[in-house]
A = this chain, B = another copy of it.
Amino acid sequence: MEFERPLAELEDKLASLKRVDLTDQPELAAEIAELEAEIGRIRETLYTGLTPWERVQIARHPERPKTDDYLASLFTDVVELHGDRLFGDDEAMFAGFGTLRGRRVAVLGHRKGKNTHENVRRNFGSSHPEGFRKAERLMHLADRFGLPIVTFLDTAGAYPGIEDEDRGQALAIAGCLAALSRVRVPVVVTAIGEGGSGGALAIGFGDRLIMLENAYYSVISPEMCATILHKDARRANEASACLQLTAADLLRRGLADEVVPEPLGGAHTDPPAVIEAIGDALDAALVSLAGISREALVVARYERLRAIGEFTGE
């Protein structure tokens, strides 16, 4: 990633130094040690003081763990359900059942691919209306049979295509919002990467919101915000900061309930640890919601949503 370049240069230098035979040039040993210390300091500074835009880039890192990775590592007995029963099956949206540490749940998740082939099939994680309608179908199933809902957010947004508009992208998203607000089962949302606008929100609110440290969740993409404000998408850096889209921002505002830390450099540097940490957070959230009655859950979720917003007057 762009902001990692100074670090990468030092690391390259270190690597070449290490290739030298130290028996010929013993004075290099000290230089190497110093360089290693320097790299450690820079790494620390670089990743602890990440700007929002840098976090957005980490959230988009191609090696970052994806919905599929969480499904594979955290869940047993996974059953994928396909189709909206209306028009198609959208591979950009996972819908199904799974068992998380012994607990049966319904799972929804945006689905980016691991490679170009998968990404083409999955439209790079941007759902068509069929994906949202499949998600809504699963919400109703979960509600009928008392399965808690766990969702994984990782999308740049709903796909803005001609056919998507013609087939009611807006209505499909609205349908999810209405359904998710009324399901009488616990809903736990995890933001694991990108949280782009309405396409993320469609499966992106509930009784708990857990965010990875470098996940972002935003009303608009930084690039489009910059385009609107400055007619210059390259000012996304600045826009990212204005939008308050980081996990820390959401936690501070009470929109997120918990931020799960990532290793230095981002989740992709140690996927197993990050996935396990999300598993712990999910499990704890589900435990905390397990005793609440169906009616109380819906009332509490409604009140949670109703409380969001800052305005003047009363």
Contacts and interface: CB of A to CB of B under 8 A. Distances in A.
Interface of A: 85-87, 133, 167-168, 171
A133 B167 CA distance: 14
Number of identical protomers:
2
**Which 10 A-B residue pairings sit nearest by Cβ, starting from the closest?**
A86-B86, A85-B171, A87-B167, A87-B87, A86-B168, A85-B168, A86-B87, A86-B167, A87-B168, A86-B133
Q: Is the interface of A mostly helix, strand, loop or mixed?
A: loop
Contacts of A85: 168, 171
A174 B87 CA distance: 16
Contacts of A171: 85-86
A202 to B, nearest CB: 16
A30 B85 CA distance: 71
A173 to B, nearest CB: 13
Nearest to A129: B86
A171 B86 CA distance: 8
A133 B133 CA distance: 15
Nearest to A86: B86
Contacts of A86: 86-87, 133, 167-168, 171
A85 B172 CA distance: 9
A85 B132 CA distance: 14
A219 to B, nearest CB: 26
11 contacts: A85-B168, A85-B171, A86-B86, A86-B87, A86-B133, A86-B167, A86-B168, A86-B171, A87-B87, A87-B167, A87-B168
A171 B88 CA distance: 13
Contacts of A167: 86-87
A86 B167 CA distance: 6
Given A86-B86, A86-B167, A86-B171, 5 more contacts: A85-B168, A85-B171, A86-B133, A87-B87, A87-B168
Nearest to A171: B85
